[in-house]
Structure 1
Amino acid sequence: MQSGRSQSVVSPIPQRVQSFQAADTRGKHRIQAELKRLEQEARFLEEELEQIERMDQASAACKE
């Protein structure tokens, strides 16, 4: 009787571990997606900054 009892107690634990692993995977995916978005935004801002640095100064443009 004890062996049947221990099996019923042990079986829910792996299911809980599996659900935690699934939640952890979703969390990792969200973090990776956010990191990718931030990297894209940083590249966009770097390109924009490079364009601004290539522009003439405002005072030079105003003189013309």
Structure 2
Amino acid sequence: MSDKDLTQKALLRLPDVFASLINFLIFDHCPVIHPDQICPLDIPAQFDYDSSLNPVYRDAS
């Protein structure tokens, strides 16, 4: 079951697939977002916030 999630995440990391999906879902097939406009961000996958809204990073994923 986790293979499906890994495949979906891998596909969404591709700029042309992501742009196509956003254009299909949000812009009704109009080519508003182009793959060359997409740049990946380096955001940690696992983090929480404490009561004062400071990021708390987990040691294990």
* Same fold per superposition (TM over 0.5): no
Q: Which has the higher helix share?
A: 1
Structure 1 length as normaliser, TM-score?
0.26
More strand by percentage: 2
**Larger RCO: 1 or 2 (CA < 8 Å, sep 6+):** 2
Larger radius of gyration: 1
TM norm structure 2: 0.27
